[in-house]
């Protein structure tokens, strides 16, 4: 059975174009902001848990 473009569900070129358009959009910046906030909250949570372990 010959390999055609229709047999491949996600061509690499389409994925690259999708990723490039997504990085240029504002939703990417919003996602980066949310990930940064989540990372900072995670660090704060771990720090507070370490402090509570010290005081308890």
In-domain check, residue 9: no
Instruction: Round the average pLDDT of the chain to a whole number and report it.
Output: 76
In-domain check, residue 1: no
Sign of CA dihedral 13, 17, 20, 26: negative
The pTM assigned to this predicted structure is: 0.44
Report the domain count for the chain: 1
Q: Between residues 21 and 3, which one has the greater pLDDT?
A: 21
Cα 23 to chain centroid, rounded: 11
Residue 35 has pLDDT above 70, yes or no: yes
In-domain check, residue 4: no
Instruction: Write out the residue range of the structural domain in which residue 35 sits.
Output: 21-55
In-domain check, residue 46: yes
The pLDDT value recorded for residue 23 is 67
5-31: pLDDT as tens digits: 555 555 566 767 777 776 677 778 888
In-domain check, residue 16: no
37-54: pLDDT as tens digits: 999 999 999 999 988 888
């Amino acid at each position: 059975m010959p390999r055609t473009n229709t047999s491949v569900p996600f061509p690499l070129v389409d994925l690259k174009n999708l990723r490039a358009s997504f990085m240029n959009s504002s939703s990417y910046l919003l996602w980066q902001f949310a990930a940064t906030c989540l990372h900072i909250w995670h660090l704060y949570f771990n720090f507070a848990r370490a402090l509570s372990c010290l005081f308890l």
